[in-house]
Structure formats: C-alpha cells, structure tokens
Amino acid sequence: MRQDKMTIPATKRRLPFVLLPLTLGSSAILRFAQRSRGSGKRTQTRVIDRMNTEQLANQLGLTVLVGHPDQKALHPNLQDSVKNWRDHDWRSLGQRLDRFDKIRARLPSGERIAPALGRALFRYLAGPANCAVIDRGQSVPPEGLPENLFEPLMRVLTQPQINPSLHFLAAQFHLELGWARYGDDYAEYALDGSISSAEARFRTASNLLDRISPHAPHSSYFCEIDYRTRAANGTTEDDLTRAAIRWSRTDPKSLIPYTTHGLHLLQRFYGGERSLPNYADRSWSLTHESLGAAAYAAIYLSAIEGDLEAAPLLNKDVFREGLIDMMQESEDPDLACNAILRTLWDVSSDAYTDTARESKTLREARRHLRALFCDLARNTLGPVMPDVWGGRWTEAKILHALAEAFETEIAEGKAVAIGLEGAVILD
C-alpha cells in the first residue's frame, strides 16, 4: 500500500540514482571515529584513525581527475541550445533533441543526453540564484521564477509540424518547475501554496505529454519524462511499473529506468512488501543475457540509498556481480566505480541511520555493504573523481574513506598506489 503521492522528497523523486549526482541523493556526514556497529561502545583505535591526512597521503597515493565527465561532455551542446533559445531557433533546438533521442546518445555516466540537456537548459534559464535555492531544497515562489519565462517555447507548440521533442522539453520544464515550487519538504511540512503550485505544474506536464503521445511511440526521452510525471502526479504501483517497462523497452541498454523505479518501489512510496525484490528478480531474468546482473544491482543500489531497510532483501552475490556489470556497461567505468563507492560508503556509515535503534539484521547489512566497499575499492577502483563523489566530498575525505580498504597494509607500513592500473601494493 503506497504512501501519499506528495511524500517523496524532490531530490529522490526527480533524479534518484544517476551516476551523477545526479544530483542523485542523500550523503551522510562522514564519521572517521571508529565504533563498533550499533553497540555505541568504543573499540580499539585503528592505526588509520590516528593518522592525519598528510601521513595517510604518504602511504596511500591517489590519481585524481578533476571535473565531472558529464559536465564536460554536455557543455558544448548546452551552449548551442542556449543560442537556439535566444535566437528562437526552435527548428534547430528540436532537431538536436530529436537526434540525441533517436540514437539514444548518452553521457559518460549513462544518463541520456536529451533529458540531461533539457534539465541543463532549464537551470540556465532559471539562473544561478534560483538554482542555488533549488539545490538547498527550498521552494522557489512564482515571483522568483515566473512561468512566463518559458512562454516562448509554449507558444510554438501550437504550430503545425513542430518537432515532438519540443513538446517533451516543455513537459520537462513544467516538471522541473513543479519541483522547484515544491522544494524538498515532505507533504506535512510543505506550505499549502507550494503544493498546489507544484501540482498545477505537474498537471500541465501531464497534459502536454498526453497530447503528443501518439507521435512518440519509440521515444525514450518521452518515456522518461512520462514516467517521472506520473510519479510526481501520483498514480498506482501497477501504472508506474508499466511506465517503467515502456521506458526500458525504448532504451534497452539504459540502467536509468531500473534505478529510478527501484527507488519508487520502496514501501513508503509506491511499493508493497515484495514489490522491490519481485521487480529486481524479474528484471534480472529479462536482462541478464544483455546486461548481466547490472539491472538487478542498479535497482537495489538506488533503493538502499533511499532506505537502508531494502538492503537485507538483496542477494549479496548477485548484487556484487551486478555492481561490476554496471561498471562494465558504463561509457566510463571509472566514473561508475566512483559513484558506486560513494553510495556504498554513505549507506554503510554510522551517520546514515539511527544506530541506537538499529536491528541486528540492519546492522549486519551495513557491515556487509562496508565490506563490499572495501572489496571494490581494492579490486575495481582506478582514478579518483571527487566531482563524482559530490560537493561534500573533498580529496582528503575520500582519502580517509579509501584508507579503510587498505587498513592492513597501511598498518604494516606498506605503501599503496591507486591509478590507471588499479591498486598496487608497494613494499
């Protein structure tokens, strides 16, 4: 039995797990003081906990890549799209989005360029001040971000033979505007005016998609915005699952439909008690020949980031295999690895849950996820990408986190170098 439609925070509903940042979700505050999981009792201080950043860096060398590959790849296309908007060159803008949609062009993270470009254009038009408010999770009122800002696009939608991609873009703008109105508050804390204003934008997005749907039978761009709009408007689990299936069928190589729907199948959102494991198992059976276990892992990775209670439901061996498949399926395996490690560290941290009330099952799940973090850090990590880890992560914090994976070697005085060839232990 799903919860009320307006109980999902915008950052979770809008962009659950994209190997971005999308954006992507909650980050726990790091705690490097070692504690026994769930007991609250101090254990013996480890060597790495007594070392400062400089001392750790002398033994654990990282190859660091600055900047987010997605932003670098998207930038020239955003510049061209902004010029199209300023010139009211709707033909060129529509053709660009349509071309990216048809070839399923993707960024290094795996996110599709068409919806990523639409979101980036929205943020450009909204301006840096409004984006800063949105990123803080605060509601942006109509006087701060007026609807008529997007009116030039809305006017051209009535013209004959207009490119369908411009309808998808307009719907995406209203979806983003709705979340900007709503902010990140849960329904019981949100202002009545922000809820009603957000719902009006979501309905407009839905109406735009309904009118153009006969012309979008094979568009993954349409299917993504349609799915996200249904989730925002409120619907049934079955309807949302059908929308997720349509989306994945239009883009069989994308993991984004699985990460997005996996989060929405948590019990506090749209799912029932067995919805998540049933969907994960079914997705594995349908995609294992083409994606390995990547879809299975993608579903659970976003779900456990949204609620750690999902962790005990997963098959540990299949999950680990799927995380590696996710890296291998990615345009940029190093980016995928960094994003996965960040999520595993966060969800396995003491700060992520109330450890005083944590059940034995959940405590064991966190221990497993931390062990998995160490395992993948030792065996799959190459260059470190701080921008992929997110704004709260500095090189120093990443260094301290990764040190746990090499605790034994560091305590023995050995040096470790992590670079293009992975981790190398030096005597």
* pLDDT score for 391: 83
Residue 288 and residue 298: Cα distance in Å, rounded?
A: 13
Closest CA to 380 of 346, 340, 347, 352: 340
Report the amino acid identity of residue 81: S
More confident residue, 330 or 217: 330
Residue 221 and residue 97: Cα distance in Å, rounded?
A: 9
What's the longest Cα–Cα distance across the chain? 73
The pLDDT confidence band at residue 43, using thresholds 50, 70 and 90, is: low
* pLDDT score for 191: 59
Q: What percent of the chain has pLDDT over 70?
A: 87
What number is the average pLDDT over the span 6-21?
Answer: 33
* pLDDT score for 30: 24
Contact call for residues 321 and 292 (beta carbons, < 8 A): yes
Contact call for residues 380 and 324 (beta carbons, < 8 A): yes
Closest CA to 382 of 347, 338, 420, 354: 420
CA distances from 399 to 16, 21, 314, 425 (A): 26, 20, 29, 16
Residue 424's DSSP bridge partners are 417
* pLDDT score for 358: 85
The pLDDT confidence band at residue 351, using thresholds 50, 70 and 90, is: confident
Per-residue pLDDT for 409 more than 90?
A: yes
* pLDDT score for 8: 35
What number is the average pLDDT over the span 84-107?
Answer: 98
More confident residue, 19 or 200: 200
* DSSP-derived pairing of the beta strands 415-419 and 422-426: antiparallel
What number is the average pLDDT over the span 26-37?
Answer: 26
Per-residue pLDDT for 138 more than 80?
A: yes
pLDDT digit string, tens, across residues 47-63 = 999 999 999 999 999 99
Q: What percent of the chain has pLDDT over 90?
A: 81
3-class DSSP state of 234:
coil
For residues 70, 71, 77, 79, the Cα torsion angle rounded to the nearest 10 degrees is 180
* pLDDT score for 193: 73
Per-residue pLDDT for 38 more than 70?
A: no
Per-residue pLDDT for 233 more than 90?
A: yes
The pLDDT confidence band at residue 160, using thresholds 50, 70 and 90, is: confident
What number is the average pLDDT over the span 402-413?
Answer: 97
Per-residue pLDDT for 15 more than 70?
A: no
* pLDDT score for 321: 98
For the four alpha carbons of 361, 363, 367 and 369, in that order, the dihedral sign comes to positive
∠ Cα 147 178 83 (to 5°): 50
Mean pLDDT of the chain: 88
* pLDDT score for 352: 74
Residue 88 and residue 102: Cα distance in Å, rounded?
A: 23
Per-residue pLDDT for 355 more than 70?
A: no
pTM (predicted TM-score): 0.88
What number is the average pLDDT over the span 124-131?
Answer: 97
pLDDT digit string, tens, across residues 258-306 = 999 999 999 999 999 999 999 999 999 999 999 999 999 999 999 999 9
The pLDDT confidence band at residue 194, using thresholds 50, 70 and 90, is: confident
* pLDDT score for 192: 60
More confident residue, 37 or 126: 126
Residue 13 and residue 130: Cα distance in Å, rounded?
A: 19
Contact call for residues 408 and 46 (beta carbons, < 8 A): no
Residue 194 and residue 179: Cα distance in Å, rounded?
A: 9
What number is the average pLDDT over the span 339-360?
Answer: 87
The pLDDT confidence band at residue 390, using thresholds 50, 70 and 90, is: very high
Per-residue pLDDT for 13 more than 50?
A: no
